Amino acid sequence: MEKNNEQNKEMTAQESLSLISEMLNNSRRIILQNNAKHFMLWGILLTVTSLAIYELWHITGNPIWNCAWFAMPALGFPIVRILDRKNSDVPQNVINKQLGLIWLTYCIFAVTISVIAMLVVPMNISLVIAVLLGFAECISGFLLKNWAITIGGFILGIGGAVATSMIYNEAQLLIFTLGGIILVVTGLIIKFQYK
Amino acid sequence: MFPKLDPILHSELRLAVMSILADVESAEFSYLRKQTNSTAGNLSVQIDKLSAAGYITVEKGFKGKMPCTTCKITPEGIEAFNNYVNALKEYISL
């Protein structure tokens, strides 16, 4: 009863503004902390997948192992669903929705281009994917107003494009290992930024 | 001359609910309750008041087999919230 009366009381202008600011910040923190988990999950999956394919390609000398990339979204999306089910009442805001759209677009482009490169027109797929990955990471940094993430994306995109033009075969996969590490670090940055 | 503060919003719990809803697409009752640290009964009463004023819409449905109430701010609610914040700023600057 006392709690109810306390919450129904009228406030001064300063108290009202403080309350608005506190509620907005708390809510944003919870929403974006949920996003941090997604970055870390995809980062770990990217690191593990790239290292596994690198190792298998290196040992067997057969690039067919690249087909294992398709296991990444097949494994990742169900895990995301399970993670989200635990926080199913956490709402979506503009930033979180746009981040989701950016990375979904990246995923659609990456999978489609990979299929085209495998079945229709051969191309330097690693270069394209590295640029797309860096681009998506860079925009995420701008959205989150975090320069470290933006610079990480820029290094990944531009550095990845240059590196994939200079190194060949399975060694190119190590660029994606770096990409995975950058995604994990992005998740950690968000986690600590909105602690 | 001070601008008049909207009496619907000038209450701690209703303002807290509106502040959360102003930033999200929609929010479930359980989330609002956790964030505002309020009792279910009190929150329900304040949500009804905001809904009656046309500031939010309340949708009752199910999530699996569990009942789920979802609240969403309306354009009128956004306008009222913005006016309220602007009025507060004027109060503080004067």
Q: What does the pLDDT look like over A72-89, one tens digit per residue? A: 999 999 999 998 888 888
At residue A10 the predicted structure's pLDDT band, cuts being 50, 70 and 90, is low
Establish, for the pair of chains A and B, how many residue pairs have beta carbons separated by less than 8 Å: 85
CATH assignment of the domain containing B37? 1.10.10.10
Q: Is the pLDDT of residue A126 over 60?
A: yes
Q: Is the pLDDT of residue A182 over 60?
A: yes
Residue from A7, A32, A99 to probe the interface with B (highest B Cβ count within 10 Å): A7
Long-range contacts of B53-58 (CB under 8 A, 24+ apart): B53/B8, B53/B80, B55/B8, B55/B9, B55/B18, B55/B80, B55/B81, B56/B17, B56/B18, B56/B21
Predicted local distance difference test score (pLDDT) of residue B25: 93
Average pLDDT, chain B: 92
At residue A107 the predicted structure's pLDDT band, cuts being 50, 70 and 90, is very high
Amino acid residing at A58: H
How many domains in chain B?
1
User: Residue B5 domain-assigned?
Assistant: no
At residue A1 the predicted structure's pLDDT band, cuts being 50, 70 and 90, is very low
User: Residue B16 domain-assigned?
Assistant: yes
Predicted local distance difference test score (pLDDT) of residue A5: 58
Residue from B5, B21, B24, B37 to probe the interface with A (highest A Cβ count within 10 Å): B24
User: Residue B1 domain-assigned?
Assistant: no
A34 contacts on B by Cβ (under 8 Å): none
Domain encompassing residue A46: 2-193
At residue A101 the predicted structure's pLDDT band, cuts being 50, 70 and 90, is very high
Q: Is the pLDDT of residue A29 over 80?
A: yes
How many domains in chain A?
1
Q: Over range A150-157, report the average pLDDT.
A: 96
At residue B37 the predicted structure's pLDDT band, cuts being 50, 70 and 90, is very high
User: Residue B45 domain-assigned?
Assistant: yes
Predicted local distance difference test score (pLDDT) of residue A109: 96
Q: Is the pLDDT of residue A189 over 70?
A: yes
User: Residue B7 domain-assigned?
Assistant: no
Query: Poorest-confidence range of A80-84, A158-162, B88-92?
Result: B88-92
Domain encompassing residue B77: 12-81
Q: Give the chain A residue whose CA is nearest to the CA of B91.
A: A13
CA-based nearest residue to B14, from A114, A111, A16, A54: A16
Predicted local distance difference test score (pLDDT) of residue B2: 63
pLDDT more than 90, % of chain B: 79
User: Residue B4 domain-assigned?
Assistant: no
Taking chain B, what is the end-to-end CA distance rounded to the nearest angstrom? Answer: 10
Average pLDDT, chain A: 92
Residue from B2, B5, B11, B12 to probe the interface with A (highest A Cβ count within 10 Å): B12
Q: Is the pLDDT of residue A2 over 50?
A: no
Residues of A at the B interface, defined by Cβ within 8 angstroms: 3-4, 6-11, 13-14, 16-17, 19-20, 23-24, 26-28, 30-31, 88-94, 97
Q: Over range A87-98, report the average pLDDT.
A: 90
pLDDT, one tens digit per residue, over B2-24 is 677 899 998 999 999 999 999 99
Rg (CA), chain B: 14
User: Residue B88 domain-assigned?
Assistant: no
User: Residue B89 domain-assigned?
Assistant: no
Q: Is the pLDDT of residue B72 over 70?
A: yes
What is the distance in angstroms between the Cα of A57 and the nearest Cα belonging to chain B? 45
At residue A3 the predicted structure's pLDDT band, cuts being 50, 70 and 90, is low
Residue A140 and residue A105: Cα distance in Å, rounded? 13
